[in-house]
A and B are shown apart, each in its own frame.
Chain A
Amino acid sequence: MSAITRVGGPASRMWRGRPALSPGALKGETVWHALIPVAILSLVILIAPVLAPYGGTDVNPVGALQSPSPDAWFGTDEIGRDVFSRILIGIRTSWFAALGVILLGTIIGGLIGAIAGAFGGKVDMVLMRITDLFLSLPAPVLAIAVIAAMGPSLRNTLIALSIVWWPWYARIVRGEVRALAARPHAEAAQLAGVSRTRLVLKHLLPGAAAPVIVTMSLDVGNLILALAGLSFIGLGAPPPAPELGAMSARGLQYLFGHPWVPIAPAAAVALLALAANLLGDAINRRLDQRTTR
């Protein structure tokens, strides 16, 4: 890059249209609208055990493979468990599983990204080469290999997914931290005598929060789908765990005779992903507006 272009011009480019002393971040209708489904979902997840007429592995007395009826809202599965109850509890399992992987990914990735971004130089180089390595590999294929190696279990599946998931977050966090570190505010803070840790924690990392949140929300759907796909090829949560992906994958053989068995959990996956995606999308557009307006 040759000449440095001045960012100059009238300051209005940066502050126009913003009311003085307005409150902050996630304000705006779009986000609130999208929060409603997620809020309802969270509530369902919280009180799922209470809502569910039966336990996740309990048998509904109406019998096996019964079609939906007032006694079994979404019918029963091949061994007579109540599909509705299982879905309620499955949403919980899937949601927590997805959140688990995402959180683990965020923590590992965030840590690595923050360290790389904050230290720069050699540390950055080494950490980012490792991250790049993981990023340059096809995550699902790698996950399959890892689970196949460790043996399928929900725990192993989650570990494998976390292993392939964190690099995204490392990348995002590092990118943001680097970008922020190059901004004058980081230098200004440094000149103000702020310690290195505080600089990273208070002046750099919070800036990465927004893109990370967006990615996290978009990832919920992806992860549940990934779990479903793994279950389908026999590498998912072991039975009888009411995990939505596994329920749908294992129920697939009943698609023609007893369609509710695979379709109901798949619809729940879609619903879950839709809610998370809507929120992510809304946050995304909101942040987008904030940064470009």
Chain B
Amino acid sequence: GSAEKTDSASSSSGDSKTLRIPYLADMSVPDPDVFYDIEGNGVILSQYEGLLKYKAGTLDIEPNLATEYEVSDDGKTYTFTLRDDVTFHSGPKMTCDSVKAAFQRRVDVDQAPAWMLADVKSMTCENATTFVIELKNKVTPFLHYMASSWGPKVVGPEAIETNAGDDFGQTFLETKGDGTGPYKLSSFKRGSAYTLTKNAEYWGTPANFEEVILSITPDMGTQRLKLEKGDLDVILHGFPASELESLPDSVTVEKQDSLLRLILYVNSNKAPFNDPAVRAGLQSTIDTNQLVEQGYSDTAEKSTGIYPPGLLPGEPKLPYTPDPAKAKAAADKAKTKKLTLAYSADESGVQRRVGELLQAQLKTAGYDVTIKEVQLPTVYGWAENLEEAPDLAIMTNTPDGAHPDLWASIMFSSTGGLNFLGAKNEKIDANLGKAISLPPEEADPLYKEIAQEVIDDNKFFLLGDVKNVFVMQDSLTGLSNTPAYPWLVDFAALKRGE
């Protein structure tokens, strides 16, 4: 007998039926109400859809499962008009009730991404296609939540009803799926590969590839060799920038904007950086140009503002200019010159590289810097003991969506989830609290104030705007992505040839 799949044509590489993409590591779980990472967003976003989404190549919101939306004058009630031609992978038609159930699931599961619905007061279905959400208070960026990569997704009845069990279908969704997207999850083998199969009943433009195989290939060298040989189609991230040049002609490199940002955190809770003057000295110590150029070649640009590019036009410019004399003068005031610099581990080693460069820069100012690599859970623990936490930390973060609040409140507010080194600034907190419920024209000045405050406070240094770098077979066309969805191309839009 033969164990080969009936369609033996799919075996040869470079065919038009199968798209092969490597992942450097396993994703956490393909459950949209639990998943809050980057690696794996392709599995989520090609299976599940939210009510809205970001338009390809822009930061603009466009309809998705909802064709229209309406916001009440008090900004508390959102009315979505749903598509009526959508069916779930498991067969049934999507109705307003399914959407409500899916949103309710996110609240019930209550994992990390549940916060986006934390302010929801009620959800009602006026009819099969009219979904109304009432908020407790005004949340201006709420529409961005709906479009976010991690925003609420419409999960089908397989998880919510048939296999709900006593954990809202979480067990079921660890390896299976039921969504509305162009692909359905046909196999999920942890450690080996995830297979997405084309959803023939898709309401929108059908996918070009019959099948997408996401194989776990943890070593970049192996990924590269397979790509060169035609056994992989697109490397979504982690390819070392310096090696791009050495790729053969059969491979193209696409560099696209993203909201990913390289950040230096400063621990202002202990010496030496509890002294504002010493912190300020970092402005003239850090040579962002060098960091970005050498760390990223041309796969990142030097940051010019506190917010990701495009989120807040007209925000204050970053004033960092290297000045050895000033740097030294400030460092001389430091209580201690022994610093620890942590960076979070990443596959391509780019943060390490930046860390090492920064180490050298700090050294010229007179600091003695020890570098260490840390894993994310360790990073989460810093807030609990800031005295023990490192003096400086390098991290690459992305906002959940393309709205200033989604960046500022998670990064700079005292309680922000990404404010790992416990930076506190009452002014920022107050402004954020106010801005969230104000219309853009009133909120934007506040966001700019916040930006100025961040700049003056010197607890965060925005170093670089990192690009998505897609390394792919040049036979592939139809590349489509959006800055708000990091490391992701639209699988359904890709095709071979033409």
Contact = CB atoms under 8 A, between A and B. Distances in A.
Instruction: Give yes or no for direct A-B contact (beta carbon below 8 Å).
Output: yes
Interface of A: 57, 59, 64-65, 78-80, 151-153, 234, 238-240, 250, 252-258
**A interface secondary structure, majority:** loop
Contacts of A152: 372-373
B240 A253 contact: yes
B269 interface: no
A255 B242 contact: no
A140 to B, nearest CB: 18
Contacts of A238: 370-373
**B interface secondary structure, majority:** helix
Contacts of B360: 57, 59, 79
B243 A258 contact: yes
Interface stretch (B204-212, B299-307, B349-357, B427-435): B349-357
A64 B240 CA distance: 14
Contact of A79 (B220, B221, B356, B374): B356
A59 B357 CA distance: 10
B352 A250 contact: yes
Nearest to B224: A256
Interface in B340-358: 345, 348-349, 352-353, 355-357
Interface of B: 219-221, 224-225, 240, 242-243, 245-246, 294, 345, 348-349, 352-353, 355-357, 359-360, 370-374, 378
A258 B348 CA distance: 15
B373 A240 contact: no
Given A151-B378, A240-B359, A257 B242 contact: yes
Given A153-B372, A239-B355, A258-B242, A234 B345 contact: yes
7 contacts: A64-B294, A78-B242, A79-B360, A80-B294, A151-B372, A239-B356, A258-B243
A240 B378 contact: no
Contacts of A255: 221
A94 B202 CA distance: 58
A59 B363 CA distance: 13
A205 to B, nearest CB: 39
Contacts of B353: 78-79
Contact of A256 (B221, B352, B370, B374): B221
A254 B243 CA distance: 6
Given A152-B373, A234-B373, A239-B371, A253 B243 contact: yes
Contacts of B345: 234
A254 B240 contact: yes
A80 B295 CA distance: 11
Contact of A65 (B221, B224, B242): B242
A146 B221 CA distance: 28
B364 to A, nearest CB: 11
Nearest to B375: A234
Nearest to A234: B345
B355 A256 contact: no
Contacts of B220: 253
A153 B370 CA distance: 10
B222 to A, nearest CB: 10
